[in-house]
Amino acid sequence: MAVRATEVKRGMVITQDNDLWVIVDYEHITPGNWRAIHQIKLKNLKTGNQRQLRLGSSDTVEEVFLDKKECQYLYKDASGFVFMDNVSFDQFPLQEEVVGEYMKYITENSNVIVTFHDVIPISVEVPSAVVLRVIEAEPAARGNTATNVTKNVKVETGFELKAPPTSTSAT
């Protein structure tokens, strides 16, 4: 659907150069006696690249409607990471390029939000907080509390991070 430059808003998804872009920032500029300019900052939904788009008041952009569904991560195989739609129970694979770094935080059988354009999944949203089980941790260095002390920890998804040491003193 064509939308005039005067009607665009932050968060709107448009198609430009055969790619999907989300509008990150929008500014209406009226420089003195000149015509109004609409300065739009875009972010590519697939690559994350950003760019500027300058439009006149009569220019149009093509708005895209996206569908978000709650899906469950099932397993990983040769075709990619397999998810299931929680309503229709359809299973579909997502490639590494789509899920990216998020798989560090997603365990099997956990729910995520998958965004679709037409019927093609384009991105994954993980919950803002996840609970992961620690499977491996270094012992804490005792008495070293003058600075911000951390130790290496490995969680059930295979992700390795630094965490503060915990005290396990018996009373």
Q: Residue 169's pLDDT is what?
A: 45
pLDDT in tens, 35-78: 889 999 998 887 778 999 999 888 999 998 889 999 999 999 88
Please check whether residue 168 lies inside any domain of the structure.
Answer: no
Please check whether residue 169 lies inside any domain of the structure.
Answer: no
Indicate whether 143 pLDDT > 70.
Answer: no
Domain count, the chain: 3
Nearest by Cα to 45 from 69, 14, 70? 14
* pTM for the model: 0.67
Residue 171 pLDDT grade (very low, low, confident, very high; cuts 50, 70, 90): very low
Greater confidence (100 vs 75) lies with 75
Q: Which tokens go with 152? A: 């290496």
Greater confidence (167 vs 54) lies with 54
Q: Are residues 145 and 94 in the same domain?
A: no
Please check whether residue 171 lies inside any domain of the structure.
Answer: no
Q: Residue 46's pLDDT is what?
A: 77
What DSSP assignment string belongs to 86-123?
TTT--EEEE-HHHHGGGGGS--TT-EEEEEEETTEEEE
Greater confidence (168 vs 166) lies with 166
Q: Residue 19's pLDDT is what?
A: 87
Greater confidence (147 vs 32) lies with 32
CATH of the domain at 114: 2.40.50.140
Question: Which backbone phi and psi does 7 adopt, to 5 degrees?
Answer: -105, 0
Q: Are residues 118 and 151 in the same domain?
A: no
**Full residue range of the structural domain in which residue 72 is found:** 67-125
* Distance between CA atoms of residues 120 and 124, nearest Å: 12
Q: Are residues 87 and 103 in the same domain?
A: yes
Indicate whether 170 pLDDT > 50.
Answer: no
* pLDDT above 90 as % of the chain: 20
Q: Residue 40's pLDDT is what?
A: 92
